[in-house]
Amino acid sequence: MQIREYLKLFKIRSLIFLILSATFWQFGSSLTHMLLITMVGIANPGKVFALSKASLTFTLPVIIFSPLIGILVDRWSRRIVLFQANFTKAFILILTPIMISLTHSYVWFWFAMYLFFTIDIFNNTGKPALLPMTVAKRKLFIANSLDQLLSRIAMVAGMVLGGIIIVKIGWYNGFALNSVIHIFAAVCMLSVAKKYDTHPRQQEHREMTIRQSFEILFYDLKEIVTLIGKDRIVALILISFAMIALFSSAAFTILVYMVQQVLKMGTAGVGFMRGLLAVGMIIGALSLGLFHIKIRKINIVVIGFLAYGLLFTIGPFMIYKATMVAIAMLGGLLYSVILVAQNTILQEQVSSHIRGRVFAVKELLFNITFIITAIAIGIISDLTSFKIVLFSVGLILLAFAIVTFILTRNSQVKSR
């Protein structure tokens, strides 16, 4: 075990305040999702499709703006970006109930949610790009496990406590509370030392013409494409995020259907399984921090996808309550383990000046894949059988794991 090394992370001031900031905004983002569900119910009572439309507020911004925001994160001060992003979200949240009351319309709410989740992309790309600058490379893996641990706890707390809080204090005060949470996230960023936020591009191009701006945009996009084309490890890890989106969409569509309707556990059963999934995520993140893992990080990803592939291929033949409980716990654990390894590899493999764009591409690939596969899985399951789709997803994950192992068995993952 490496408990001492894990505890030593708490002595690194800038790292801890960066993770604390991320923990606050993760809790706030989960609370925002609960507020979104609440407001959809108020604005569109009895309309199930309203939730489908609501999902566009947090998926479309990523698809549309991720590449551009990744470029901005690489050219601006990441520390200031994270501060301003959380402060801006706090302002949007406090303004939303006021505007709804003044206009007697929910139009502003939809605009605010779209704007909120657009700004959230700065958090999702800026934090993983900045984190490697605050910790020694030998501690980067366990630093990511700590970040993942607190992030998952915050996510679960936001979903579970968020619903209770909104019921107790009302949606109006829920927005106000969420605003305060994001202010805390912004303030934490002020304790991250400026010296960790320096990279070559920050001082470039302070004054430029529109033409020059587009030339720089084209160059930056070309640079990221070139990197992906030349670096096999980076390309495979980015593809692996698309694979995560594949089994996530399968879980979102088929597994929810199985628990709710096939096993007759209802919506309460879905909530219970999501809770077990979250517990598994927390255990997975914690175990990576406490135990010394000697396996290559790329092989952790391979083993994780092999395990997921097996779960999906045998799943159609083991549809029992006890089995689903075990799968939910193991699935959550594997998710955290894979994610920590993926993020660490990208942080080590990619230089600081391009890191923001790489994580933006990751967000883009995940969301595009999730939307496309969720629709495709739903249609194919109705036309054939959900068991066939589950088995097919398992085979794809197994094939990806095997191909990744073959292509990377002699590759060296470099360090920052």
DSSP 272-311: HHHHHHHHHHHHHHHHHHHS---S-HHHHHHHHHHHHHHH
* CATH code: domain of residue 250: 1.20.1250.20
Mean pLDDT of 209-232: 70
Last residue of some domain: 138, 165, 196? Answer: 196
Same domain, 192 and 298: no
- Picking from 233, 185, 164, 202, the residue whose alpha carbon sits closest to that of residue 19 is 185
Please check the confidence at residue 160 and state whether its pLDDT lies above 90. Answer: no
pLDDT at 207 over 50: no
Would you place residue 174 in the very low, low, confident or very high pLDDT band (cuts 50, 70, 90)? very high
- Residues 65 and 135 placed together within one structural domain of the fold: yes
pLDDT for the residue numbered 412: 60
Report percent pLDDT > 70 for the chain: 88
User: pLDDT category, 37, cuts 50, 70, 90?
Assistant: confident
- Do 175 and 225 fall within a single domain? no
- Average model confidence (pLDDT) across the chain: 85
Q: Are residues 362 and 227 in the same domain?
A: yes
**Tens digits of residue pLDDT in 234-283:** 999 999 999 999 988 888 777 767 877 788 876 567 667 877 888 899 99
| 165, 196, 227 - which closes a domain | 196
CA-wise closest residue to 300 among 248, 362, 382, 237: 237
Asked if residue 314 is part of any domain, the answer here is: yes
Q: Are residues 179 and 278 in the same domain?
A: no
Q: Average of pLDDT values for 312-335?
A: 88
C-alpha angle 347/119/184, rounded to 5°? 85
Same domain, 222 and 179: no
Answer whether residue 8 shows pLDDT above 60.
yes
In this prediction, residue 415 has a pLDDT band, given cuts at 50, 70 and 90, of: very low
For residue 205, being part of any structural domain is answered with no
On whether both 241 and 155 belong to a single domain, the answer is no
Instruction: Kindly state whether residues 247 and 338 are assigned to the same domain.
Output: yes
pLDDT band at 372 (very low <50, low <70, confident <90, very high): confident
Which residue has better confidence, 156 or 267?
Answer: 156
pLDDT at residue 34, rounded to an integer: 84
pLDDT tier for residue 5 given thresholds of 50, 70 and 90: confident
Q: Does 229 reside within a domain?
A: yes
Q: Which of 22, 124, 43 is nearest to 363 (CA)?
A: 124
Residues 29 and 75 reside in one and the same domain: yes
Task: Assess whether 338 and 189 both reside in one domain.
Answer: no
pLDDT of residue 411: 66
Choose from 67-81, 105-119, 284-298 the range with maximum mean pLDDT: 105-119
**Count of CB atoms within 10 A of residue 317's CB?**
10
342: domain range?
Answer: 218-408
Could you tell me if residue 416 is inside a domain? no
Two structure tokens written together for 65 = 């703006």
Per the domain annotation, does 139 fall within a domain? yes
Tell me, yes or no, whether 201 lies in a domain: no
- Let me know whether 257 and 131 are in one domain: no
Domain count for the chain, please give it: 2
Confidence of residue 217 (pLDDT cuts 50, 70, 90): low
By the 8 A CB rule, do 196 and 130 touch?
Answer: yes
Whether the per-residue pLDDT at 19 is higher than 90: the answer is: yes
Contact yes or no for 24/154 (Cβ under 8 A): yes
Higher pLDDT, 10 or 72: 10
Does 169 have pLDDT greater than 70? yes
Which pLDDT score is estimated for 208? 47
21 within domain boundaries: yes
pLDDT digits (tens, 9 = 90+) for 72-83: 888 888 999 999
- In sequence order, the 6+-apart residues with CB closer than 8 A to the CB of 146 are 6, 9, 19, 285, 289
CA distance 245 to 287: 24
The pLDDT, as a whole number, for residue 397 is 96
Domain co-membership, 53 together with 145 = yes
The CATH number of whichever domain residue 33 belongs to comes to 1.20.1250
